[in-house]
Structures are given as structure tokens and as C-alpha cells.
Amino acid sequence: MTLSPADRDAWLARWREARTGFHLDRVNPFLEVNADRMLPPGGGRVLVPLCGKSLDLAWLVARGHDVVGVELAEAAVEQLHAGLGLTPSISDRGALRSWKTDRLEILVGDIFDLDPAVTGAFHAIWDRAALIALRADDRARYAPHMLDFLGPGGRMLLCTLGYDQSKMDGPPFSVPASEVRSYFDNVLPLEKLEEKDVTDGNPRFSESGISEVLEELWLVG
């Protein structure tokens, strides 16, 4: 089952109207510090679900990895390639559309249409603002779906946010530690690597009366 038409349209509208406050103008600091925890030395295949136009993609390629991003909004993928000065070759890849340059491939479409039989297995998955972009019922499908893409010994770095969900609707949605554990405990080793209070600098949260926003980084596998 794919994303609901309402959620799909909401994401496409965000990109059309440039309401993309989640985009970072730098490489994600959690990734910079912890990438070696998930990636094999000497290079591997990395999946970046719900990738937007993240600068993390080119950073991973520059470190010698083969990177596959998945993104619903073609506008995001156009902006990504324009920003990097890349001219991709475009073709169908299963149910998604592939934008491919040397070591970077972006699959345009719904993550729930992504098939491990088409992509092959990955050494690592980098999830920043992907799980937390989805509603609870979609998260419960997304977490096991992602594990289907990890090869033996594969690892996932997962960045979540926790806050009082009763005070604000997502996205981003609050995903507390208990929910993360419910997906991965007893399936793969799970370790919390970092946590950071990110309440300051997020006016949308404080304007909603939220007094604490916790960002947590998890290593799965």
C-alpha cells in the first residue's frame, strides 16, 4: 500500500511552494560524526530514504560510497541535481523512476513501492527526517520495510525527534524511544548513540507551547 493521496499531495505542495524548512544547508552533524559506525571502510551501498535534496547524499558519494536516494517529489530531485550541477540519465526502475549519475541514483516515487528485488541489498541506511515524516500507521509499515533492504551485517543510522505530540500535529511526528524499540528490539541490536535538546532554534515548537524537543540518534544492527 502506498502513501495516502492526501499525504502525497501535501508533500508535493510543500515542494511546489518551497515550504521545506526541514532542509539543512549543511551536512547533518550526526552523520558527519557517526557515519563510520554504519558504513564499511572502503565504501559500500547506502540507501537514503525520503531524501529530499539533502546535502548528505553528495557527502556520502564524496566519501566513496554508492548512494541510492528515494524521494516522492520530482521538484526536490530537480533541485538536488541543479544544485550539484549534475545531468542524470533517467529511466524506469521497477515502479520508480531512476535519475542516475556516476555513484548517485535517486529513485523518484513512493518508498512503499521500492522493492529489494529491484534495488539489491544495502550495507547501510541513513534515515534523517524519514521515519518521523510519516504518520503512525505508515511508520509501522516503514520500519520493517527498511529492514528488508539491509544485507547481512547491514546497519541503519536513524535520527528521531521526541516532543509532546498532543500540542502539535506533524510532520515531523514525535517518535519516542519506546516506539523505536518496538520496531527494532528483538530484531537487530539497537543502541542510542546521541541525544540533543533541540528546543531552541525551532520556533514552530515553542509557538505551539512545546517546552522540550529531543533529537535522538540510533544505531540499528
Ligand X SMILES: C[S@@+](CC[C@H](N)C(=O)[O-])C[C@H]1O[C@@H](n2cnc3c(N)ncnc32)[C@H](O)[C@@H]1O
Nearer to ligand X, 9 or 185 (CB): 9
**Does residue number 80 form part of the binding site for ligand X (CB under 6 A)?**
no
CA atoms within 13 A on the CB side of 210: 25
Q: How many CB atoms lie within 10 A of CB 23?
A: 13
Which segment (64-72, 77-85, 180-188, 197-205) binds ligand X by CB under 6 A?
64-72
Q: CB 162 → ligand X: shortest distance, Å?
A: 16
Query: Binder to ligand X among 47, 57, 61, 76 (CB under 6 A)?
Result: 76
Q: Are 128 and 71 in contact (CB under 8 A)?
A: no
**Does residue number 59 form part of the binding site for ligand X (CB under 6 A)?**
no
Beta strands in the chain (DSSP E): 45-49, 66-71, 89-93, 96-100, 104-108, 122-128, 150-162, 190-197, 214-220
Q: Which amino acid is at 116?
A: P
**Does residue number 60 form part of the binding site for ligand X (CB under 6 A)?**
no
Beta strands in 11-148 (DSSP E): 45-49, 66-71, 89-93, 96-100, 104-108, 122-128
User: Taking CB under 6 A as the criterion, which residues in 111-150 touch ligand X?
Assistant: 111-112, 128-130, 133
Taking CB positions, which residue lies at the least distance from ligand X?
Answer: 52
Q: CB 61 → ligand X: shortest distance, Å?
A: 16
Chain residues in the site for ligand X (CB under 6 A): 3, 11, 22-23, 50-52, 54, 70-73, 76, 110-112, 128-130, 133
